[in-house]
Amino acid sequence: MPKFAANISLLFAELPYLDRFQAAAEAGFKAVEILFPYDLAAKETHRALLANGLDLVLINAPPPNYTGGDPGYAAVPGGEGRFQSDIRRVLRYAQVLRPGLIHIMSGYSSGPDAFECMVHNLQWAADLAPQQQFTIEPLNPVSQPDYFLNDYNLAADILDRVSRPNVGLQYDSFHAHMIHGDALQVWEQFHPRVVHAQVGAAPDRSEPGRGPTDFAQLFNAMTSSGYSGWVSAEYTPSTSRTVHSLGWM
């Protein structure tokens, strides 16, 4: 079976942030991912990881825009300067936290200029930190209206143009089903590009075992495809306590 990590931005949310690391370890997870670990000093998160013997699989970019202004990121033309500044901020966190992956979000835009902007921004980030692995992830238009990267075929086209060994595809069963209607089919088509996987049930992003996706079949497909990366549980538990939602494991 795949090796599972816990997204502690969503799992164990009934606990204070720093207590979630111990809860994840006690539940049997060996690694975690954190969507936006920027509200605390990186050294505090690092201590919690070390104390509980956990690897940090992934964090998201951008960090919060504390100065205000319109949201935007890799695929937003005209925002290249802010993109570069924010990537440098994220990499300062990464120097302490040592995440295996940094997910670079596209932001909200559309059209060919947005495509070119995202390609160039990803190339810049990849070349700035060639030892760091980056990912891009399609998000579905129901959950994220107007998000630029909203299709796996589009993600493949971007990766072809970026053509950097340290930029890969992030697969999410919830978004895959919501976008294309069949999470397993998306895995079978795109798994050679996948460097990180996440699971949650459509349409409510609850734990695996609910909704239309056959997760036993999906996990078998991941194993048989030779995928050796982490599979992160990224869902909102339907139970009041996260541990009661982990029967799928």
pLDDT (tens digit per residue) in 75-106: 999 999 999 999 999 999 999 999 999 999 99
pTM flag (> 0.75): yes
Out of 14, 116, 137, 207, pick the active-site residue: 137
- Quote the CA–CA distance of 66 and 5 in Å, as a whole number: 29
- Quote the CA–CA distance of 142 and 67 in Å, as a whole number: 28
Out of 80, 116, 207, 234, pick the active-site residue: 234
Q: Is 145 strand, coil or helix? A: coil
State yes or no: is 116 an active-site residue: no
What's the sign of the alpha-carbon dihedral 64, 153, 124, 41?
positive
The 10s digit of each residue's pLDDT in 191-243 is 999 999 999 999 999 999 999 999 999 999 999 999 999 999 999 999 999 99
State yes or no: is 234 an active-site residue: yes
